[in-house]
Structure 1
Amino acid sequence: MPPSAHPALRIATRHDAEALFAGLSGGAVEAVGFAYLGPERRLLGLRHIIGHADSATVPVARIARDAILLSAQAVLIAHNHPDGDPRPSPADLALTRRLAQGLDMLGVRLLDHLIFGGDHVASLRDMGAI
């Protein structure tokens, strides 16, 4: 199923991105959301992947394919940590690097990877991981 479209919404700031993915916070299983952005950071589409209690498999090729099909200029990724700790795991950091490199080869920028844990949100861009 293709990502859902929301073309009128603009994601201009980190606050906008956190608001877009706020529904991920507090979940009992790990869930991942992707936002595909076009010109002026207009939302072209969203994809959500539901995982397990402590992990979710992210199909990097599918994310890249969606970016191509939507003619996205940028992608945002966000996921939750059901244990409430927003610090990135080694797997989170590795995925972020792989996704950023893969998207970059397509001319698409990974804007940020947000991790929701409890009442806190960690930004991998702010941490220097992107």
Structure 2
Amino acid sequence: MDDGSPALDLLEAPAPAPKHRDAAPANHQHGHRDRLRERFSVSGASALADYELLELLLFRTIPRRDTKPLAKALLARFGSLGEVLNAPPARLREVFGMGEATALDFGIVAAVNERAMRSAVRSREVLSSWSAVIDYCTAAMAHQTREQFRILFLDKKNALIADEVQHVGTVDHTPVYPREVVRRALELSASAIILVHNHPSGDPTPSRADIEMTRTIAETARPLGITVHDHVIVGRSGHTSLKGLKLF
């Protein structure tokens, strides 16, 4: 009978209630969930492996099934916790046991994490909280499947005025026009900018085109009183600072 509640995805639906002689495994699973929640409550995330944190999240939309195999399958498929949470919903659903509701939960967690990191950047003087900037840019861009070119616009005190994605390209290229970058900085009355883009390949090593583009933007901006503090390239394997490498 339809009780009006939303239907769970078929793969996420709870298994039928076991017969009496099979009740022990169900009780064991219930105990496992309680023990995992208690460990998190008492000792925090550091006491849990990545697959166990995923299990805690999976509990939300998969009420009674053993979620450990699914958590381990997701990590095996995507390689890391960050990759799992940032994977496109369609790819998540390729893993047996994942449905729309659970994929949506993962997307929500990733979005909340990114928003929290952005708030940390906005509330501080950017250059004095460089690790927060890197964490935010990594969360926002490292797992994207297409290249994005982002600009952080700063005022005279290096506080963030605006954070904008200027262009989205292909898997290995995004068009960047130095005059557009400088024009936008002037519109916002920015005194400095930080350039950021991602390499979907995962390798943040700058290309020759990356270096030349950075030099062109810096040379175009300098006479107008706009400083390019850095150009950061982020990838799943880390990040690279062109300023740190003295490439412009």
Cα 1:8–1:97 change in 2 (3 A) is: same
Q: Does 1:11 align with 2:126?
A: yes
Q: Does 1:124 align with 2:124?
A: no
Query: 2 CA distance for matches of 1:19 and 1:40?
Result: 21
Q: Does 1:21 align with 2:137?
A: yes
Cα 1:53–1:61 change in 2 (3 A) is: same
Letter in 2 for 1:125: K
Return the offset for 1:7: 6.6
Q: Does 1:33 align with 2:153?
A: no
Query: 2 CA distance for matches of 1:69 and 1:18?
Result: 25
Cα 1:71–1:7 change in 2 (3 A) is: farther
Cα 1:34–1:27 change in 2 (3 A) is: same
Letter in 1 for 2:184: D
Query: 2 CA distance for matches of 1:47 and 1:72?
Result: 13
Query: 1 CA distance for matches of 2:179 and 2:154?
Result: 17
Gaps of 5+ in 2: 1-120
- The residue that corresponds to 2:189 in the other structure is 71
- The residue that corresponds to 1:3 in the other structure is none
Cα 1:103–1:16 change in 2 (3 A) is: farther
Return the offset for 1:119: 2.7
Letter in 2 for 1:30: E
TM-score scaled to structure 2, two decimals? 0.48
Cα RMSD for the two superposed structures: 1.6
- The residue that corresponds to 1:103 in the other structure is 221
* Identity among equivalent pairs (%): 27
Higher helix share: 2
Q: After superposition, where does 1:38-77 map in structure 2 within 5 Å?
A: 38-48=155-165, 49-77=167-195
Query: 2 CA distance for matches of 1:85 and 1:19?
Result: 17
- The residue that corresponds to 1:88 in the other structure is 206
Higher strand share: 1
> 2:126 is paired with a residue of what secondary structure?
coil
Gaps of 5+ in 1: 1-5
Query: 2 CA distance for matches of 1:20 and 1:61?
Result: 26
Query: 2 CA distance for matches of 1:33 and 1:51?
Result: 12
Letter in 2 for 1:109: T
Q: How many residues align?
A: 125
CA contact (8 A) 2:203 2:237 kept: no
